[in-house]
Amino acid sequence: MHQPVIFGTHDVKTLAQLEDVASRAERVALMADGHLGYVMPIGGVAAYRDQVSVVGVGFDIACGNAAIRTNRRLPEYTRADLEHLADEIQRTISFGMGRTNRADDAPTDHPLFEHPAWDALPGKHEREGLRAKARNQVGTVGGGNHYVDVFADERGDIWVGVHFGSRGFGHTVASGFLALSQGKKWGERAPETEVLLPLTRPLGHDYWHLMTLAGEYAYAGREWVARKVVEILGGEELELVHNHHNFAWKERHHGTDYVVVRKGATPAFPGQKGFVGGSMGDDAVIVEGARHDSERQRASLYSTVHGAGRVMSRTAARGKVNRKTGALISPGRVTWHMLREWVGGKGVILRGGGLDESPHAYRRLPDVLAAQGDTVTVLHTLTPLIVVMAGEKEFDPYKD
């Protein structure tokens, strides 16, 4: 095991999680937006030899970000235009728990639905049931910190950005293999413990192929949503930047072949572009892996932040809420006045959202980028104009 590489400063519990992961991995790193997760910290990167961690990849397999630069420019829109567009995005795109896609042109006939990897599921009933759920949910955004944003960059060019993953499909695959790896049946609840699956064994082989399929599914969904919003804006696509940040890849580092798990970390090889969001009231960025290929980049396994990183839990931010009724049991540290004052002060048009996603619950993105040093280069700074998310009481079981 090599010495962990840590960017930024972190609390004791997060560092303890990283140390635990490091006891089983060949190499580990922690990005500056890191915080406590399930078994593996969010912002963590771990390299293994011929095996993959189910909880490392996580329940929201292939959660990631996509951004499209359009041919439209900020001066072409009035404030009233942007308000109308925000309403249209909220009406057209499906947000919230377990939703089905309302649009007639969702990619339900994508070739991924006939991929042989579906055969890795344990039985015909499970296979066809999950395929039907996946078709219904493709191109739905979900809840939690998942969003559709419209931005303007430093030149006034309009961008569309989205953040979500493989929805109920990925969640079911992760839960199922977590159960199977602990000797339980598919569909049984299993504790969130670390299980490393060798890729040469049937269970690891099947998980890898279904994880990869979930990645294709997430890519198809994000690109459909982003392009749908570009259509709503009346624009055309000029550039697409697209990355997973909850996934595993086969990569070669330091002359050795590894399976690299990134849990809330963006791949950032030299020259590779990434879209990194801030919070609902802060700028986002388009970055690329620094082209000088430094030792620090190599030590990070060519990874960078995936967002600003939380500084308080959802419960700490919004308070304790009754999951069934939505009633507030005890207040949190963030109020609606605080959220509206911040977002309104930035001039952001917000649809949906909740106290647990307030900018107060997050670090500032410039700070975490500074902590990553010269491992990445900022190409564009994106100022939010419109933020659309699920509403406060729309629980989503599939969020990352």
Written as one letter, the residue type at 28 is V
Written as one letter, the residue type at 260 is V
Residue 284 and residue 278 in contact, taking contact as beta carbons nearer than 8 Å: yes
Q: Give the list of residues 6+ apart from residue 272 with CB closer than 8 angstroms, or none.
A: 288, 289, 302
What pLDDT score was predicted for residue 398? 46
What pLDDT score was predicted for residue 400? 46
3-state secondary structure of 157: strand
The C-alpha atoms of residue 142 and residue 100 are separated, in whole angstroms, by: 10
CA angle 242–244–250, rounded 5-degree value: 115
Residue 67 and residue 159 in contact, taking contact as beta carbons nearer than 8 Å: yes
Query: CA neighbours within 13 Å on the CB side: how many for 238?
Result: 10
Homologous superfamily assigned to 5-391: tRNA-splicing ligase RtcB (3.90.1860.10)
Written as one letter, the residue type at 184 is K
Pairing of strands 376-391, 349-353: parallel
Which class for 89: exposed (0-12), middle (13-18), buried (19 or more C-beta within 10 A)?
A: buried
pLDDT, block means (10 residues), the chain with 400 residues:
89 96 97 95 98 97 98 98 97 81 88 96 93 94 93 98 96 96 94 94 97 98 98 98 98 96 98 95 96 95 96 89 78 92 93 91 95 97 96 53
The C-alpha atoms of residue 235 and residue 141 are separated, in whole angstroms, by: 21
The C-alpha atoms of residue 106 and residue 104 are separated, in whole angstroms, by: 6
Of 259, 264, 168, the closest CA to residue 218 belongs to: 168
Residue 260 and residue 254 in contact, taking contact as beta carbons nearer than 8 Å: no
The C-alpha atoms of residue 366 and residue 283 are separated, in whole angstroms, by: 9
Residue 168 and residue 134 in contact, taking contact as beta carbons nearer than 8 Å: yes
Q: Which two tokens stand for residue 207?
A: 């998980």
Residue 317 and residue 333 in contact, taking contact as beta carbons nearer than 8 Å: yes
pTM of the shown model: 0.93
DSSP state of 370: H
SS3 content of the chain, % helix, strand, coil (to 5): 35, 30, 35
The C-alpha atoms of residue 221 and residue 217 are separated, in whole angstroms, by: 6
Residue entry with tokens 């293994």: 48
DSSP state of 95: B
Residue entry with tokens 């991995």: 25
Residue 21 and residue 56 in contact, taking contact as beta carbons nearer than 8 Å: yes
What pLDDT score was predicted for residue 320? 86
Q: Sign of the CA dihedral 288, 289, 293, 294?
A: positive
Residue 85 and residue 235 in contact, taking contact as beta carbons nearer than 8 Å: no
Q: Which two tokens stand for residue 65?
A: 């970000």
The C-alpha atoms of residue 173 and residue 214 are separated, in whole angstroms, by: 8
Name the residue ranges covered by the structural domains of the chain: 5-391
